[in-house]
C-alpha cells in the first residue's frame, strides 16, 4: 500500500518522459570531420536514435531528415546575446533553423547556450529572455508541444551536492534560476544537466572512490548514505542527479524532470590524468548505458527516466586543453570504435557493431558464377577498393574466386556500415563473427586495424555504372550479363 501511494505521488508530481533513452552528442572539432551522410550512416549502424548537435547545422539537419533519429539542436553561446536581446532575432533563428527542417527532421528540443551560468556569465541576464523568445516563436508556429526549450547547466551550479538532500543552486544565480525554473515548469520542459563524475572524481578535494564514479559495485560499508533521507547511493551519477532534484525543490520546484545532456569519461589523458584510460572509459559508458536503459531512476525518484546523452560520438582532436579533451569519443573520425563497449543484454543501442565484429563471407557451397558476379559488382558499381586482391598485394593468395569474392563482399558490407541487406548478394553471402583475415591480408571490419571505417558511402548504390569496375580487366566480365548486374544492384538496393 505504501508503495502504491508513493508511486501515485510520483505519477502526479513528475511528468513521465516515457522510457529512458541513450543519445549521443556530436561535437565537430575534428580534423577530418566525416560528412553529414557518413555521420548518419554510423548513427544508423549503431542504432543511435537520439543525438544532440552543438549548433543547427543545415547540412547535418538535412542528412538527419527522414531517418527517425531525434535531434536536439543548440543555440551556440556566441548567438545567445543576440537572441536574448531581440524577439525578432529569436523568431528568425527559429524560422531558419527549426521551421525549415520540421517535420522531415525530428527536432525534439532547443538547447539554448551551453553552461551559460558557469562559462558565459555576461549572457546570464538575457538567458531567460532568450528561452522565452524562442518559445514564443515555436508557439506561433504551433511547434511548442513537440519541441522543448531549455538550457544545459554544468553540475557545478549546484553547491554542497553531497549529501544530495542539502544541495542548492549557487545563490548568485537565483535571479536567473527562479524565473528559468518557472519557465521550464510552465512549458513542460526539463532541466538540462551535464553530469561528469570524472571531474567530481578528479577534484583534489574530493575523496570519491574510483569504483563509485564508475558504477562498479561497492561493498555495503562503502556505499554513500544520505543521513537526512537514509537513501543509499551506489554511484556518483545518481547522487548528482538527485542533488539537482533537491536543489530545485529547495526553490519549491518539485515537478521538473531532468535530462542529462552530457555524460562520459575520457579514454586517454596526460600524466596528470592517470584515470583517463580506455578501460575506465569503457566501464563508465557501458555501465552508464545499462543504468539508464534499466529505467530504475535515482534513489530520490525511482522509476523516473533519466535519459542521457553520452559525450561524445567522435574524439575531437582540435579541442584545446589537457589531452583528455581530445579523447571523450566513442569513435575515431574514420568510424572505427575507440573501444568495444560491454553491452550484453543492454538493448539495441550499440548492440551489434561494437560488441562483436561481424564479417560478410561467401557461403561455402555458393555457385562460382554467382560469386564472380558478386565480386565484379562489389569492385565495380559497389565502389570497393579491391586493390589488395591484385597480384603481389596482400590478399591475392589464395587466388580463387571464392576467396577474392569474400574479400570484396566483406569490404562492401563494412563500407555500408553493415546495414541490413548488404550481406546477401542473391543468397551467396552470409554474416559471420569469424574474422577471415589471414597473414598480412587484413579484412576491413577487423578491430584494431581501423578497418570498419566508412568512407563516402551511399546507401543505395548508383545504377549509373553497369560496367568498368576497377578490376574488371582482371576478372572475367564475359560471364556477366548486364541484366545480372542490374538484378544484383536491385537486390542490394531493395533489401
Ligand atoms: C542487432 O542485431 C539484432 C539481431 O540480429 C537486431 O534485431 C538488432 O536490431 C540489431 N541492433 C542494431 C543496433 O543494429
Ligand atoms: C516582439 O515584441 C514586440 C513588443 O513586445 C511585439 O510587438 C512584436 O510582435 C514581437 N515580435 C515577434 C516576432 O514576436
Ligand atoms: C519524433 O520524436 C518524438 C519524440 O521521441 C516521437 O514521439 C515522434 O513520434 C517522432 N516523430 C516522427 C515523425 O518520427
Ligand atoms: C557562485 O557563482 C559566482 C558567480 O559565477 C562565483 O563567483 C562563485 O564562486 C560561485 N560560488 C561557488 C561556491 O562556487
Ligand atoms: C517554498 O515554500 C515554502 C512553503 O510554502 C515557503 O516557506 C518558502 O519561502 C518557499 N521558498 C522559496 C524559495 O520560494
Ligand atoms: C535495474 O532495475 C532493477 C529494479 O528497477 C534493479 O533491481 C536492478 O538493480 C537494476 N539493474 C541495474 C544494472 O541498474
Ligand atoms: C558476442 O559474442 C559473444 C561470444 O562470442 C556472445 O556470447 C554474445 O552473445 C555476442 N553478443 C552479441 C550482442 O551478439
Ligand atoms: C585508428 O585510427 C586512429 C585515427 O585515425 C588512430 O589514432 C589510432 O591509432 C588507430 N588505431 C589503431 C589500432 O590502428
Ligand atoms: C576516403 O576516401 C577518399 C577518396 O576516396 C580518400 O582519399 C581518403 O583517404 C578516404 N579516407 C579514409 C578514412 O578512408
Ligand atoms: C548518374 O547519372 C546522372 C545522369 O546522367 C547524373 O546526373 C548523376 O550525377 C550520376 N550519378 C552518379 C553517382 O554518377
- Regarding pTM above 0.85, the answer is no
Cell numbers 560478410 label which residue?
360
Q: Is the CB of 340 under 6 A from ligand 8?
A: no
Distance separating alpha carbons of residues 189 and 178, to the nearest angstrom = 14
pLDDT of residue 4: 39
pLDDT of residue 359: 83
Judge if 317 and 365 occupy the same domain: no
Instruction: Please state the φ and ψ torsions of residue 402, each to the nearest 5 degrees.
Output: -60, -45
Judge if 263 and 200 occupy the same domain: yes
232: in domain: yes
Kindly list the protein residues whose Cβ atom lies closer than 6 A to any atom of ligand 10.
Answer: 462, 464
Judge if 227 and 295 occupy the same domain: yes
> Which residue's alpha carbon is at the smallest distance from atom 3 of ligand 2?
87
Judge if 229 and 174 occupy the same domain: yes
Judge if 440 and 318 occupy the same domain: no
pLDDT of residue 219: 84
489: in domain: yes
Q: Is the CB of 448 under 6 A from ligand 8?
A: yes
Q: Which CATH number belongs to the domain containing residue 156 in this structure?
A: 3.20.20.80
Judge if 366 and 317 occupy the same domain: no
72: in domain: no
Active-site positions read 115, 262
> Which residue's alpha carbon is at the smallest distance from atom 11 of ligand 1?
348
Judge if 321 and 390 occupy the same domain: no
Cell numbers 553497369 label which residue?
466
Nearest atom of ligand 2 to the alpha carbon of 136: 14
| Ligand 6, pocket-test mutation among 284, 294, 343, 347, most atoms within 8 A of CB | 294
Judge if 424 and 481 occupy the same domain: yes
pLDDT of residue 222: 80
Last residue of a domain, one of 309, 326, 343: 326
Distance separating alpha carbons of residues 283 and 210, to the nearest angstrom = 11
Angle 482-494/368-379 helices, nearest 10 degrees?
70
pLDDT of residue 484: 35
Last residue of a domain, one of 305, 326, 347: 326
298: in domain: yes
Judge if 191 and 269 occupy the same domain: yes
Judge if 369 and 453 occupy the same domain: yes
422: in domain: yes
Q: Residues in the chain with pLDDT < 70? A: 1-17, 344-357, 433, 446-495
> Which residue's alpha carbon is at the smallest distance from atom 11 of ligand 3?
106
Judge if 389 and 252 occupy the same domain: no
Distance separating alpha carbons of residues 242 and 245, to the nearest angstrom = 5
pLDDT of residue 236: 96
Q: Give residue-wise pLDDT tens across range 302-361.
A: 989 899 999 999 999 999 999 999 999 999 888 878 887 877 655 556 644 444 567 899
H helices of 24-152, in order, are: 36-45, 58-63, 77-85, 87-94, 116-119, 124-140
| Domain around 451 | 359-494
Question: Which residues are registered as beta bridge partners of 52?
Answer: 25, 72
Report how far ligand 10's centroid is from the alpha carbon of 420 (Å).
25
306: in domain: yes
80: in domain: no
397: in domain: yes
Judge if 254 and 396 occupy the same domain: no
> Which residue's alpha carbon is at the smallest distance from atom 9 of ligand 7?
344
Q: Give residue-wise pLDDT tens across range 405-433.
A: 999 999 999 888 777 788 889 889 988 76
Contact 224, 233 (CB under 8 A): yes
Distance separating alpha carbons of residues 437 and 8, to the nearest angstrom = 57
Number of domains making up the chain: 2
Distance separating alpha carbons of residues 121 and 117, to the nearest angstrom = 5
Ligand nearest to the Cα of 109, by number: 3
Amino acid at each position: 500500500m505504501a508503495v502504491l501511494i508513493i508511486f501515485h505521488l510520483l505519477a502526479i508530481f513528475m511528468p513521465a518522459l516515457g522510457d529512458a533513452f541513450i543519445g549521443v552528442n556530436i561535437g565537430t572539432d575534428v580534423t577530418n570531420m566525416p560528412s553529414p551522410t557518413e555521420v548518419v550512416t554510423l548513427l544508423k549502424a549503431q542504432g543511435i536514435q537520439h543525438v544532440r548537435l552543438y549548433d543547427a547545422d543545415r547540412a547535418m539537419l538535412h542528412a538527419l531528415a527522414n531517418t527517425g533519429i531525434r535531434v536536439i539542436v543548440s543555440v551556440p553561446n556566441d548567438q545567445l546575446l543576440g537572441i536574448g536581446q531581440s524577439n525578432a532575432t529569436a523568431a528568425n533563428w527559429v524560422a531558419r533553423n527549426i521551421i525549415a527542417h520540421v517535420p522531415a527532421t525530428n527536432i525534439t528540443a532547443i538547447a539554448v547556450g551551453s553552461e551559460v551560468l558557469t562559462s558565459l556569465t555576461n549572457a546570464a541576464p538575457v538567458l531567460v529572455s532568450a528561452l522565452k523568445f524562442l518559445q514564443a516563436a515555436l508557439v506561433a508556429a504551433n511547434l511548442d508541444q513537440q519541441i522543448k526549450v531549455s538550457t544545459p547547466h554544468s553540475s557545478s551550479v549546484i553547491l554542497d551536492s553531497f549529501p544530495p538532500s542539502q544541495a542548492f543552486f549557487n545563490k548568485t544565480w537565483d535571479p536567473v534560476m527562479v524565473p528559468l525554473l518557472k519557465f521550464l515548469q510552465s512549458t513542460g520542459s526539463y532541466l538540462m544537466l551535464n553530469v561528469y563524475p570524472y571531474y567530481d572524481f578528479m577534484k583534489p578535494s574530493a575523496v570519491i572512490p574510483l569504483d563509485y564514479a564508475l558504477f562498479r559495485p561497492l561493498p555495503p560499508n562503502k556505499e554513500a548514505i544520505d543521513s537526512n533521507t537514509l537513501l543509499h547511493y551506489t554511484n556518483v551519477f545518481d547522487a548528482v542527479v538527485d542533488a539537482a532534484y533537491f536543489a530545485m525543490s529547495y526553490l519549491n520546484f518539485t515537478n521538473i524532470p531532468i535530462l542529462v545532456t552530457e555524460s562520459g569519461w575520457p579514454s586517454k589523458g596526460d600524466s596528470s590524468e592517470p584515470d583517463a584510460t580506455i578501460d575506465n572509459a569503457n566501464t563508465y559508458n557501458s555501465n552508464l548505458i545499462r543504468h539508464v536503459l534499466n529505467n530504475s531512476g535515482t534513489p530520490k525518484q525511482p522509476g523516473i527516466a533519466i535519459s542521457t546523452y553520452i559525450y561524445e560520438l567522435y574524439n575531437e582532436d582540435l579541442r584545446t586543453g589537457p589531452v583528455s579533451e581530445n579523447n571523450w569519443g566513442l569513435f575515431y573520425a574514420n568510424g572505427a570504435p575507440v573501444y568495444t563497449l560491454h553491452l550484453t543484454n543492454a538493448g539495441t543501442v550499440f548492440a551489434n557493431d561494437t560488441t562483436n565484429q561481424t564479417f560478410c563471407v561467401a557461403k561455402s557451397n555458393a555457385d562460382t558464377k554467382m560469386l564472380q558476379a558478386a565480386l565484379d559488382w562489389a569492385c565495380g558499381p559497389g565502389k570497393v577498393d579491391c586493390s589488395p586482391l591484385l597480384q603481389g598485394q596482400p590478399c591475392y593468395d589464395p587466388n580463387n574466386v571464392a576467396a577474392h569474392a569474400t574479400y570484396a563482399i566483406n569490404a562492401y558490407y563494412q563500407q555500408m556500415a553493415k546495414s541490413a541487406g548488404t550481406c546477401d548478394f542473391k543468397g551467396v553471402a552470409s554474416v559471420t563473427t569469424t574474422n577471415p583475415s589471414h597473414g598480412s591480408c587484413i579484412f576491413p571490419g577487423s578491430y584494431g586495424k581501423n578497418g570498419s571505417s566508412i568512407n563516402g558511402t551511399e546507401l543505395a548504390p548508383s545504377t549509373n555504372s553497369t560496367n568498368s569496375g576497377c578490376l574488371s580487366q582482371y576478372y572475367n566480365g564475359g560471364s556477366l550479363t548486364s541484366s545480372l548486374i542490374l538484378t544484383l544492384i536491385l537486390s542490394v538496393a531493395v533489401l
